Structure 1
Amino acid sequence: MKFAVLSDAHGNLPALTAVLDDIERWGADQVIVNGDLVNRGPCSLECLRLLQARFPGSRCIKGNHEAYVLACADDPLPADDPTRELRLFAHWTYRQLGDAVADIAAWDEHYDLDAPVGASLHITHGSRLGNRAGISASTPEDELAEKLGPARDLFVGSHTHKPLIKRFNGTLVVNTGSVGQPLDGDERAAYGRFTLADGRWRAEIARVPFDKARALRDMDESGFLEQGGAITRLIRLELEQARMHVGPWMREYLPRVKAGEISVAAGVDSYLRSTKV
């Protein structure tokens, strides 16, 4: 039995197309999308429809970006909220998806399988602690135990955009990395391949090249940058360089934005001036 688990496509149509082609060649029996198929990129509706057309039997799990998009229905973007600009691209995605938002609302939060010893698994976007509580190589062991929760033979998470395979207390722990916006310095898309044979899981991370120039043009030509707020400039830079910028920006500038000391746009300008890019 072959499982392909992909995540964090983030509306990157060329990357998703390349990964789905690779999954088809590999011959997966089951395709699982572990969240963040949409948002944070320009082609969310196209990615959703491509997945539905190519793998109509795929199982889809919500990530934090699906949650952000679904929350837009009840978010009026008040003008006096200094953080409102950080949510503009989610609202842009929400409008792009239109009626397809209902498809996403029906997705599961996780996939949990009780199975004979050696074959049980849990798949969720972040961890048992939430869809933003990802697992990385630097996660301390006590924290990792909390994030994994009840024992499973295989635990699959995503969210961090950095792939990982390790064993911990008898559990095979895998982070699938990112299809559309890898942040580990490797420009290729990443997804997880899982094989169940002889009652045991085996895992590998597949890396797939994609047309990054086309993906960047999609950002430039779609309206994502113009209508999604200044933070989309950092998202584009992350795609271009395959390394993180939004996270460092948030740590340095978000408290100042919330305090009304600086606007999001001014904070992005300041970050770009002070960072070697």
Structure 2
Amino acid sequence: MKIAFISDIHGNAIALDAVLEDIRKKAADRVYVLGDLCYRGPDPKGVLERVRSLNTKVIKGNADEWAVRGVRPGEVPDHVLELMNRERDWTVSRLDQQDIDYLTALPTELRLDVEGVSINAFHATPDSLFDIVVPGAGDDVLQAKLMSAGKADIYIYAHIHKPYIRYMEGKILMNTGSVGLPFDGLARASYAIVEVSEGTIGTSIERVPFDIEKAIRQYEDEQYPNAEMMARILRNASVK
């Protein structure tokens, strides 16, 4: 059984199409989505339509929560709060009430059993859509933040836009990275694959090229409120 985990699409339908095509080529049996579907990208409606057409399990990310109810003081630095809510308002203007209802109702955790291998997947941590757990965190932090909600063989999360795989005490910990807005300096969409076959477990991070300049033109053509900064992030694959 080969399973793809995708996340942090952020309204980038061009990157999502490239990733879904790569998943098809790799003949994955299932695809699961770990949140952050629409907000901060130029095509929120298109992404939501594509995700819903997968007919798969989808969980909520912090950006989905923001799309539903806005960004609150204390959740982001004060100097970007107004801008991020303008971006949120722009995103919601491209959606309808059915879309908002769909985002509102998304669950926050996914538990799977794949041929006897247990997988626990969530967006940021099992207890929060917003906590940030970085790749270089110590084993004690990773265990406390990511592995405390229940026993599993594999723990998968997203949120930080920086993919990695680590092994601790017989467990596997993976971050999917981001489909639409990678932050690790490699300007390619990122997603994770888990393959289980007769007791063997394979894990990988896949990096997929997409037409970055076309995505940037979408931001500009759609008059996205923060198009210049988003273009810089896409080209550099970094928020710095």
Quick check: TM above 0.5? yes
Counterpart CA distance in 2 for 1:137 and 1:43 is 29
The yes-or-no answer on 1:184 pairing with 2:184 is yes
1:109 maps to: 108
1:61, distance to aligned residue in structure 2 (A): 0.7
Over residues 198-225 of structure 1, what are the superposed CA-to-partner deviations in whole Å (9 max), with x where a residue is unaligned?
2343210111110111000011111213
2:165 maps to: 165
Question: Match for 2:92 among 91, 94, 110?
Answer: 94
The yes-or-no answer on 1:236 pairing with 2:231 is yes
Counterpart CA distance in 2 for 1:126 and 1:242 is 20
Counterpart CA distance in 2 for 1:51 and 1:141 is 33
| Equivalent AA in structure 2 for residue 35 of structure 1 | G
Over residues 122-172 of structure 1, what are the superposed CA-to-partner deviations in whole Å (9 max), with x where a residue is unaligned?
000112241222433211222111112133100000111111001012210
Counterpart CA distance in 2 for 1:106 and 1:40 is 20
Counterpart CA distance in 2 for 1:189 and 1:126 is 19
1:115, distance to aligned residue in structure 2 (A): 7.0
Q: Are the equivalent residues in 1 in contact too, given 2:133–2:142 (CA < 8 A)?
A: yes
| Equivalent AA in structure 2 for residue 240 of structure 1 | R
The yes-or-no answer on 1:119 pairing with 2:121 is no
The number of aligned residues is: 231
Identity fraction in percent: 32
Residues 235/26 of structure 1: CA separation in 2 closer, same or farther (3 Å cut): same
Range with bigger deviation, 59-68 or 123-132? 123-132
1:113, distance to aligned residue in structure 2 (A): 3.1
1:6 maps to: 6
1:114, distance to aligned residue in structure 2 (A): 5.7
Counterpart CA distance in 2 for 1:124 and 1:67 is 14
Residues 5/60 of structure 1: CA separation in 2 closer, same or farther (3 Å cut): same
| Equivalent AA in structure 2 for residue 128 of structure 1 | P
1:20 maps to: 20
Q: Which has the larger radius of gyration?
A: 1
